[in-house]
Amino acid sequence: MVVGAVLSLCLAVVIAGSGVWTLARRSGVDVTGQVLRAVAPTQVAAAVMLAAGGIVALAAQAPIPLIALIIGGVGAIGTIGAGSWRAARYAARQQVVSTCGSADGCAGCTQLCS
């Protein structure tokens, strides 16, 4: 369990560093920069979940460490997945707006909107 806890804490530091670095940079004008900035808060939240799971895994007695690592990992994956999904929807919407010139669902555009 110690190896899993240390790995979880190291991964939390890497993910948090990436999210904080993205938030500290200037916001990009293009859609890619905006999407990366939109995903950064979910990266920080996922890092907090991984860190909490790692700390509990180091401090608790069996069988709690395994449960904490599983819950922290699943929570982090779910959080990043949901944030990425939302950012991808935003990017797709921005692409449609730039292509069609309209934000009201492709009014007068031949492309299919979803």
> Radius of gyration of the chain from Cα atoms?
19
Question: How is residue 95 written in tokens?
Answer: 């692409």
Q: Would you list the domain boundaries of the chain?
A: 2-100
34 band by pLDDT with thresholds 50, 70 and 90: confident
Supply the pLDDT for residue 113: 53
99 band by pLDDT with thresholds 50, 70 and 90: confident
90 band by pLDDT with thresholds 50, 70 and 90: confident
5 close to 69: Cβ distance less than 8 angstroms: yes
Q: Is 68 left (phi over 0), alpha (psi -120 to 50) or beta?
A: alpha
Mean pLDDT (the chain, rounded): 87
